[in-house]
Amino acid sequence: MKNPLLEPFEKAPFSKIKSEHFKPAFLQAIEDARAEINAIVENPEAPTFENTLEALDFSGQQLDRISSIFFNLNSAETNEEIQKIAQEVSPLLSEFSNDITLNQPLFERIKTVYGQRENLSLIPEQQTLLEKRYKSFSRNGANLNEADKKRLREIDAELSKLKLKFGENVLAETNKYEMLLSNEEDLKGLPEGSKEAAAQLAQSKDKEGWLITLDYPSYIPFMKYAENRALRKELSLAFGSKGFHNDALDNQENVLQIVALRHERANLLGYATHAHFVLEERMAETPEKVLEFLNELLEKAKPAAEREFAELEAFAKELDGIAHLEKWDSAYYSEKLKQKLFNLDDEKLKPYFKLENVISGVFQVAEKLFGLTFKEVFNVDKYHDEVKTYEVYEDSGNFVSLFYADFHPRPGKRGGAWMTSYKPQYTLNGKNSRPHVSNVCNFTKPTTSKPSLLTFNEVTTLFHEFGHALHGMLANTVYPGLSGTSVYWDFVELPSQVMENWCYEKEALELFAFHYETGELIPMELVEKIKESATFQEGMATIRQLSFGFLDMAWHGSDPSDIKNVKDYETKAFESTALFPDTAETCMSTSFSHIFQGGYSSGYYSYKWAEVLDADAFAYFKEKGIFNKEIAYRFKEHVLSKGGTENPMELYKRFRGSEPKIDALLERAGLLETKD
């Protein structure tokens, strides 16, 4: 019996694949990839760029394609069988990739080529590939002596245990807490849907009344809408004190150990701090530059934040006689003030954003900017009937990419929206092999009486993910390892975020924002309101993001050996950004999973960094015309098509003519004007 995953295929052969094909395909493809790497290592010829770096980048292609099909399905159309296979193959895959990083003879070959790099007349893309591969070994200890290597492995093992424990504690704390309400009066202000959910939750646990928990779908509506201030306070303090109760689930010691081990690891590898280690492979480059960036934004945003805080406090005083605004008042009064100022709800906007119209809109934008046309095709294999497939062509008639679009929720699909690919772009033997790119979203399904109508937030999400897709589709590189979205972490959101800007522009909305029943164009005063409400309390929101960035840098940008008390240290890190009075019961660090469990350590700043980039890039379009072909060409030529082939700052400067400045973001966020 033939396994379709082990036959050569161009497009993913979804209709032929059965779940039982995956495991044997993975095993075979891993074995084949190992053999390819062994062949590189055992090559009797002296190492060269071609026989080592190039060979390595083009190795394991079948394995990559099987992995992308499998893990994309596990996100978009999974079932118990697939999930079980994922449990089984994930350790095999990480073992395989560890075996590569720890393959000393392979590293010796790469190191030899790296040592000759000045004399090899490599093109920039090749230099980048060489540097990237060399670093992937050296940053993992390949250059250390045996004793240091051993210590590094110990640290890595210890860190992965601590990070796991940190996350388990946060989860256990989240699940442990319950606020059971028996008096309906206590839920006053909550929307019906949230009340129902709270009642159902209580019922599911055999309890009478309404149950509120620290899970976001329960916590957020309560903080936003519940009129009972004492209960908001109780819930807020519970949320803010996760991992901070001096009990078995406390995370203070874990925080201190994680930062100490990260610091030691960085030192072993020759870096001053963990932040220096991380930022070496980021556009921001150094902790000094990150701090300079955060401080510059702080200086600009603080006056606006203080003004907004005073405004909110005055509003709360006027409404309910609140003398001092506390953390648990913030979401509640902000929501009330926002309603008062804008009276803009999703239901008003949705009729103008029929899904088919928005898709047509984003395609038209791509055509006007980059000369792309999208032709729906019906002969491409797909994993579900709802998936749409398109062939994408350039002006010249050249085939650019295959594009899959999967828009609606299903039981086997995880939440959220994302871009992914089934095949990377690369150039091999002179042939430019084009990519297969996919967008997956969770937009409301059409019914028999109503089409799928998007909220404005969903419209920007669609443009955002489509921006990532363009980054993949327009890729034009040689090596698959540097193609498309394979770029530095703090650069990858530029193509996606910049696309969102078109959603606020009259010229773009005129292409697609028509009422689904009357065909009437969206009224421009509604568009103005959308714009204004988008920057509502932007100063406070900015300060909040900055505070997390400062806290992250405080933990990772200096020697932590003198830190004794987690809460005290955190309070100091928050000093410059604090708006609300501090509460002794709470601690952010002990549940800051982004940086202590996930991959955001020394990277929290990148949310704001990406905003600066996209605002600065879009300002260029605004200046020359949002459909200006020349600017669009520069963006395609220097950013979208280049993937990770060169330093992103160099790419950006070639597009923009200068480094990004924060002014455009400040202007867009309304942080420049002084209101009276």
DSSP string, 654-666: HHHSS---SHHHH
Q: Pick from 169, 425, 496, 537: which binds Zn ion (CB under 5 A)?
A: 496
Work out how close the CB of 497 gets to Zn ion at its nearest, in angstroms, rounded to a whole number. Answer: 7
Work out how close the CB of 469 gets to Zn ion at its nearest, in angstroms, rounded to a whole number. Answer: 11
DSSP run (H or E) holding 634: helix 629-635
Q: Which long-range contacts (CB under 8 A, 24 or more apart) does 212-220 make?
A: 212/178, 212/179, 212/181, 213/174, 213/175, 213/177, 213/178, 213/179, 214/173, 214/174, 214/177, 214/238, 214/239, 214/242, 215/174, 218/194, 220/331
Nearer to Zn ion, 496 or 542 (CB): 496
Rounded distance, CA 361 to CA 366, Å?
9
User: Would you say 375 and 390 are in contact if contact means Cβ atoms under 8 Å apart?
Assistant: yes
Window contacting Zn ion (CB under 5 A); options: 90-98, 164-172, 496-504, 656-664: 496-504
Q: Please give the residue whose beta carbon sits closest to Zn ion in the complex.
A: 496
Nearer to Zn ion, 254 or 496 (CB): 496
Going residue by residue from 449 to 488, which x/- string records binding to Zn ion, judged by CB under 5 A? ----------------------------------------
Rounded distance, CA 589 to CA 594, Å?
10
Rounded distance, CA 555 to CA 263, Å?
10
Work out how close the CB of 496 gets to Zn ion at its nearest, in angstroms, rounded to a whole number. Answer: 4
User: Would you say 403 and 468 are in contact if contact means Cβ atoms under 8 Å apart?
Assistant: no
Task: Tell me which amino acid residue 290 is.
Answer: V
Nearer to Zn ion, 249 or 492 (CB): 492
Work out how close the CB of 460 gets to Zn ion at its nearest, in angstroms, rounded to a whole number. Answer: 11
Window contacting Zn ion (CB under 5 A); options: 183-191, 246-254, 492-500, 595-603: 492-500
- Residue 543 has a CB neighbour count (10 Å cut-off) of 23
User: Would you say 404 and 438 are in contact if contact means Cβ atoms under 8 Å apart?
Assistant: yes
Work out how close the CB of 180 gets to Zn ion at its nearest, in angstroms, rounded to a whole number. Answer: 38
Annotated active-site residue in 173, 458, 465, 500:
465
Rounded distance, CA 227 to CA 221, Å?
11
User: Would you say 281 and 620 are in contact if contact means Cβ atoms under 8 Å apart?
Assistant: no
Work out how close the CB of 417 gets to Zn ion at its nearest, in angstroms, rounded to a whole number. Answer: 9
Nearer to Zn ion, 105 or 416 (CB): 416
Work out how close the CB of 366 gets to Zn ion at its nearest, in angstroms, rounded to a whole number. Answer: 17
Window contacting Zn ion (CB under 5 A); options: 51-59, 455-463, 490-498, 555-563: 490-498
Query: Residues binding Zn ion: what is the number (CB under 5 A)?
Result: 1
The alpha carbon of 395 is separated from its chain's Cα centroid by a whole number of angstroms, namely 32
Work out how close the CB of 463 gets to Zn ion at its nearest, in angstroms, rounded to a whole number. Answer: 11
- Residue 140 has a CB neighbour count (10 Å cut-off) of 18
Window contacting Zn ion (CB under 5 A); options: 13-21, 158-166, 238-246, 493-501: 493-501
Window contacting Zn ion (CB under 5 A); options: 295-303, 439-447, 489-497, 621-629: 489-497
- CA neighbours within 13 Å on the CB side: how many for 167? 13
Closest CA to 143 of 134, 151, 132: 134
Nearer to Zn ion, 74 or 496 (CB): 496
Nearer to Zn ion, 128 or 496 (CB): 496
Nearer to Zn ion, 67 or 496 (CB): 496
Nearer to Zn ion, 138 or 442 (CB): 442
Helices (H), ranges, 178-251: 192-204, 216-225, 229-240
- Residue 123 has a CB neighbour count (10 Å cut-off) of 10
Whether 532 is catalytic? no
Q: Which of positions 258-277 make contact with Zn ion (CB under 5 A)?
A: none
Residues that bind Zn ion (CB under 5 A): 496
Q: Please list the active-site residues.
A: 465
